[in-house]
Amino acid sequence: MNELHSLWGIVLLDKKVRVSLEKIIGLLIELHEKEEMTLEESRKIIGDKASHPIIIRTLEKLNVLERYRCENRYCIKLTDIGEKIVTAYNELDKSIIE
């Protein structure tokens, strides 16, 4: 699986759930800044309790993020592919503004 496959999966994910692509990208950017977060924190960013598990599982299958146990709960962090996607998005965002 490569970055392009993962990126298309993210774009198609917003058609599958009731959450906008902006919120999904917002989650990835926030995760990039914090390096890791709990599932509870990510649920607050997504805002839709029903769609949250679908989004997390799909992003895991696309190798964008990884879920693991930390203390008594689950945490998530970006994989290398996830980092590349966020970096590319930030570069694209900068070039549009300029």
* Mean of pLDDT over the chain: 85
Query: What confidence category does residue 77 fall into, taking pLDDT thresholds of 50, 70 and 90?
Result: very high
Buried b (16+ CB within 10 A) or exposed e, 32-68: beeeebeeeebbebbeeeebbebbbebbeebbbbeee
Asked if the model's pLDDT at residue 73 lies above 90, the reply is yes
CATH class of 3-93: mainly alpha
Rounded to 5 degrees, φ, ψ at 47 are 85, -20
Q: What Cα–Cα distance (Å) separates residue 64 from each residue in 10, 58, 72, 80?
A: 9, 9, 23, 8
Task: Give the start-end residues of each E strand in the chain.
Answer: 37-38, 65-70, 73-78
